[in-house]
Amino acid sequence: AVAVALLLEPCLQAVAAISRHHTGSPGCPCIDSLPQLRNRTVNSLNPSATKLGKGGEQADCLLALDLDKLKNPGQEYCYPTDYGRGHCESWDVLLPPECANQRSQGHGSPADLPEKCKGWLRSRQTPECSDLFEAPGTALPWCREPWCYVDPHNCDQAWSLSYYFPGLGMAYSYATCGSANYFNIWNAVQLEMCQLFAVVEKPYPIMWLSCWACAFLQQLIDATRRFEELQDRLATGQRA
């Protein structure tokens, strides 16, 4: 059995790589063009160059702001310039604040990263750059799930509006990449509950658990409501 497992391991790894890098389902393809992020994609050495190629400057950071509203409110993060674009990928696995911590002092802001580790995701995946980050003690389940941005008007799979870049009409989908959307349960809802109930307990672990408990209860309430609605529809159909 061990020999068979060793023989199958390269095949399984290849299948996993293909599933991460495909371009989504035919009815909900990953999109490569995101003009909404044009003013968020900057050259960190010359932030005034807010458009890719403007003034001859090559963009090296997609600026993501205020992602950890509990621990580091207002913090700016340098994300890959191709983040979420064009194909299914485990985009978040090396990214702070939720899925990775920077080994050296810093939070993953543009000033905290060497220039060679900025730009496309593949720059961060080199050994010398990936070694700058480590997964937290308890990795959240959505961190390794592949996903991509999609056009909500051209998608027959489940999708959600972007939480990291709100108000821009951007949508992402885990379903089109064949993975589960744990993000909506473990992160987005949790932070929304914290803001809604103005949870301010300290220290941070207690605050996090309080928010997660609120989020879990809200999910339970929503599931119960949907179950009751289904029962009502079935009962109405039987009476008819």
Give the Cα separation of 53 and 200 in Å (integer): 43
The pLDDT tens digits of the residues spanning 177-221 come to 999 988 877 666 556 655 555 555 555 565 556 666 666 666 677
pLDDT for the residue 232? 72
Q: Could you tell me how many helices (H) and strands (E) the chain has, helices first?
A: 6, 10
Give the residue-averaged pLDDT of 135-162. 90
Q: Are 158 and 173 in contact (CB under 8 A)?
A: yes
Question: Which of 8-22, 41-55, 77-91 ranks highest by mean pLDDT?
Answer: 77-91
Give strand pairing partners of 150: 30, 171
d(CA 32, CA 83): 10
Task: Find all residues with CB under 8 Å of 24, minimum gap 6, and list them.
Answer: 30, 87, 88, 148, 150, 157, 173, 176, 177
Provide the Cα torsion 188, 118, 114, 95; round to 10°: 20
pLDDT digits (tens, 9 = 90+) for 16-62: 444 456 899 999 999 999 999 998 998 888 765 544 444 445 889 99
DSSP letter string over 47-79? TT--STTGGGPPP-EEEEE---TTTSTT-EEEE
Give residue 25's pLDDT.
94
Q: What is the mean pLDDT of the chain?
A: 77
Which of the two residues, 206 and 236, has the higher pLDDT score? 236
Q: What is the mean pLDDT of residues 72-83?
A: 88
Return the minimum-mean-pLDDT range out of 30-39, 105-114, 141-150, 165-174: 105-114
Give the pLDDT of residue 6: 47
What pLDDT is stored for residue 210 in this prediction?
Answer: 63
Q: Which percentage of the chain shows pLDDT scores above 70?
A: 65
What does the chain come to in residues?
240
- Tell me which of 228 and 129 has the higher pLDDT: 129
Q: Provide the pLDDT for residue 205.
A: 60
